[in-house]
Structure 1
Amino acid sequence: MNNFISARRGSSPGGLVRYLFGPGSSQEHTDQRIIAADVTLGLAEGTRLDHLVDAEAIYALGRDMDSHRILLGVAPPGGWVWHCAISLPPEESLQGRRLGDEQWADIARTAISRMGFDEAVGRAPCRWIAVHHGRSVGGNDHIHLMVNLVREDGTLASTWNDRRTMSRVCADMERRYGLAAVEGRTGRGMPGYSKAEHQRMRAGQVPERQRIARLVRSCALISADEAEFVRRARRSGLSVRARYSKNSQEVVGYSVALRGQAKDGQDRPEMKDRRVWFGGGRLAADLSLPRLREHWPAPTAESAAKALAQWRREADVAGPKEADERAAYGTAAWGQAVARVDAVTAQLGSSRLQDVALWSSAARHAAALMAGLSDRMEHQGPGPIAATADLLARAAQTPAHPDRRLVRRGGLADLRGVAMVIRHARTSLGMTLLLLAVVALAHAICLWQAAAERPRLAAELDAGLERVRAAYPPPSARELAAHLGSSTAPAPPMGPPGTDPAARARPAVRRDRGGPSQGRGR
Structure 2
Amino acid sequence: MITKVVHGWRVGGLIAYLMGPGRAQEHVRPRVIGSWDGRDAGWQPEQIGPGEFDRDLGPLIRAVRAPAAAAGLPERDADGKRGYVWHCSARVAAGDRVLSDAEWASIARELLDGAGVAARRDAGGPRWVVIRHADDHVHIAVVLVRQDTCRRFWPSRDYPRLRETARRIERHLGLTMTAAADGTAARAPGRGEIEKARRQGREPARVELARAVRVAAVSADSPLAFIGALEAAGYLVELRRAPSGDPLGYKIARRGDTAASGEPVFYSGSKLAPDLSLPRLLRAWNEGAEGSAAAVPAEAARRRVDGARAAVAAARRGRGAEDPDGIAHAARDVVTALAGYADELGAAADAFDRAARSPRGASVRNGPSAAGLRRVARQLVHRRRMVGGANDPGPAAVALTVALAALLREIAGWQRDRDREHQAAASRTAADAISRWAEGRIVVPASAAAVSDHEMVTRRPRHDRPASRRSGQPRD
TM-score (norm 2): 0.72
- Secondary structure of 2:93's counterpart equals helix
* Equivalent of 1:146 in 133, 141, 149: 141
Q: 1:364 corresponds to which residue?
A: 329
Q: 2:340 corresponds to which residue?
A: 375
Segments of 5+ residues of structure 2 without an aligned counterpart are: 288-292, 454-459, 470-476
Distance 1:356 1:255 in 2: 37
- Secondary structure of 1:475's counterpart equals coil
Distance 1:250 1:297 in 2: 15
State whether residues 89 and 139 of structure 2, in contact with CA within 8 Å, keep that contact through their aligned partners in structure 1.
yes
Q: CA RMSD in A?
A: 4.6
Distance 1:207 1:479 in 2: 47
C-alpha displacement of 1:460? 5.3
State whether residues 433 and 474 of structure 1, in contact with CA within 8 Å, keep that contact through their aligned partners in structure 2.
no
Task: State the one-letter code of the partner of 1:290.
Answer: P
Distance 1:513 1:463 in 2: 26
In structure 2, the CA distance between the partners of 1:424 and 1:101, relative to structure 1 (3 Å rule), is: farther
Please state if 1:172 is matched with 2:165: yes
State whether residues 311 and 324 of structure 2, in contact with CA within 8 Å, keep that contact through their aligned partners in structure 1.
no
Please state if 1:85 is matched with 2:81: no
Task: State the one-letter code of the partner of 1:169.
Answer: L
Task: State the one-letter code of the partner of 1:148.
Answer: V
In structure 2, the CA distance between the partners of 1:69 and 1:412, relative to structure 1 (3 Å rule), is: closer
Q: Trace 1:294-373 onto structure 2 (pairs within 5 A).
A: 294-297=283-286, 334-352=298-316, 358-373=323-338
In structure 2, the CA distance between the partners of 1:95 and 1:36, relative to structure 1 (3 Å rule), is: same
In structure 2, the CA distance between the partners of 1:227 and 1:38, relative to structure 1 (3 Å rule), is: same
The percent identity for this pair of structures is 24
Distance 1:432 1:329 in 2: 18
In structure 2, the CA distance between the partners of 1:253 and 1:59, relative to structure 1 (3 Å rule), is: farther
Q: 1:291 corresponds to which residue?
A: 280
Please state if 1:259 is matched with 2:255: yes
Aligned residues, how many? 436
**After the TM superposition, which of the residue ranges 98-107 and 441-450 deviates more from structure 2?**
98-107
**After the TM superposition, which of the residue ranges 96-105 and 284-293 deviates more from structure 2?**
96-105
Q: 1:16 corresponds to which residue?
A: 14
Distance 1:425 1:374 in 2: 16
- Secondary structure of 1:255's counterpart equals strand
Q: 2:353 corresponds to which residue?
A: 393
Distance 2:50 2:202 in 1: 33
C-alpha displacement of 1:445? 2.0
**After the TM superposition, which of the residue ranges 23-32 and 101-110 deviates more from structure 2?**
23-32
In structure 2, the CA distance between the partners of 1:69 and 1:217, relative to structure 1 (3 Å rule), is: closer
Q: Trace 1:438-477 onto structure 2 (pairs within 5 A).
A: 438-455=404-421, 457-459=423-425, 461-472=427-438, 473-477=440-444
C-alpha displacement of 1:142? 4.5
Task: State the one-letter code of the partner of 1:6.
Answer: V
C-alpha displacement of 1:168? 1.1
* Equivalent of 2:223 in 219, 226, 246: 226
- Secondary structure of 2:34's counterpart equals strand
Q: 2:65 corresponds to which residue?
A: 66
Task: State the one-letter code of the partner of 2:253.
Answer: A
Task: State the one-letter code of the partner of 2:61.
Answer: G
Please state if 1:508 is matched with 2:463: yes
Distance 1:345 1:479 in 2: 32
CA deviations 1:153-208 (Å, max 9, x no partner) are 562241153xx13421321331342364545x33444334545678889xx98544
State whether residues 358 and 411 of structure 1, in contact with CA within 8 Å, keep that contact through their aligned partners in structure 2.
no
C-alpha displacement of 1:442? 2.0
Distance 1:467 1:63 in 2: 55
State whether residues 251 and 267 of structure 2, in contact with CA within 8 Å, keep that contact through their aligned partners in structure 1.
yes
C-alpha displacement of 1:243? 5.6
Distance 1:54 1:356 in 2: 65
Task: State the one-letter code of the partner of 2:223.
Answer: E
CA deviations 1:86-110 (Å, max 9, x no partner) are 445xxx7256587664454234223
- Secondary structure of 2:357's counterpart equals coil
State whether residues 329 and 425 of structure 1, in contact with CA within 8 Å, keep that contact through their aligned partners in structure 2.
no
CA deviations 1:135-166 (Å, max 9, x no partner) are 9xxxxx643322234444562241153xx134
* Equivalent of 2:382 in 409, 416, 420: 420
